[in-house]
Amino acid sequence: MAHTASGVSSRRCIVLLALGLMATSARAEEPISLLYNPRAPYSYVDHGALTGTLVTPVSSAFKRAGIPFVWVETPFRRQLAIVRANTGRDCMAAAFRDAEREAYGRFSQPILQNEQMALVVPKSAEPKFRRYGSLSAALGDRSMRLLIKEGYSYGSAINALLAKRAAANVAAYDEAQSIVRMLHEGMADALLMTTQEATQTLLQKGLHPEVFAYLIFPDTPPGEWRHLLCSFKVPASTIESFNQQLRMHANTSGSTAHGSNR
């Protein structure tokens, strides 16, 4: 009898162990949530499918690594809050790297590089802005109302210039299409965005890109690199598997994209 009880007990332990392993495996297979907001040319829907200069290499790397993932449309400020909360397997799909963000998330290796930022101004104001001669001089004019996307990073060099004129900046909390509308309606004098994203966003908004000028001054820094920024719930080993696939396909990890910094 004791032997039978022992056998039943052993089988029960085996079943419980198997169930435990199955639960662990199921948790391990929970997909990564890739947080994005629609912004051509990075991420946009074409013929019913999500695509773009960021979406394509990221999706390809995850597929090659055998890591399940799902794209989740999420406003930018909400993306930051989700990753910072560290409650799930979440990654921002287009983040710039800085010390503040490193404190609450894991970065992947660089995915793609932006083109340089342009100071976007109404065409009628182009002669005035060209007289500044440099980006630092233009941003140094505290009378100039500059639209700044709240929570965005414009790269370390430009961020430093913006910090010096913080009181003169016009904070915007909406996405790109609303920001270009604000400039068009005279709610500000200029904004920072790359030429290609600005023109595509204006077209999407039904505006004419040629009514604006796109000024890239000699001291404008090179475009910064975009990364995945993941919560600490995403294991470092998962990010390294993603990185390996990028390294194996240098044309995706070393390509240059055209869009605005954030």
Between residues 71 and 44, which one has the greater pLDDT?
Answer: 71
Q: How many CA atoms lie within 13 A of 126 on its CB side?
A: 11
Give the percent of the chain with pLDDT over 90: 63
In this chain, the answer to whether the domains covering 31-113+224-253 and 118-215 adopt an identical fold is yes
Is residue 14 predicted with pLDDT exceeding 70?
A: no
Mean pLDDT of 75-88: 95
* H or E segment to which residue 113 belongs: strand 112-113
- Domain 31-113+224-253 falls under CATH 3.40.190.10: yes
Asked if residue 176 lies in contact with residue 41, where contact means CB atoms within 8 angstroms, the answer is: no
| pLDDT over 80 at 16, yes or no | no
Could you give the angle at the alpha carbon of 214 between the alpha carbons of 212 and 216, nearest 5°?
165
* Sequence ranges of the domains in the chain: 31-113+224-253, 118-215
pLDDT tens, 142-193?
Answer: 999 999 988 888 888 999 999 999 999 998 877 777 888 899 999 999 999 9
CATH 1.20.1440.230 fits 118-215, yes or no: no
Q: pLDDT digit string (tens) for 119-142?
A: 999 999 999 999 999 999 999 999
Host H or E run for residue 45: strand 44-46
pTM for the structure as a whole? 0.75
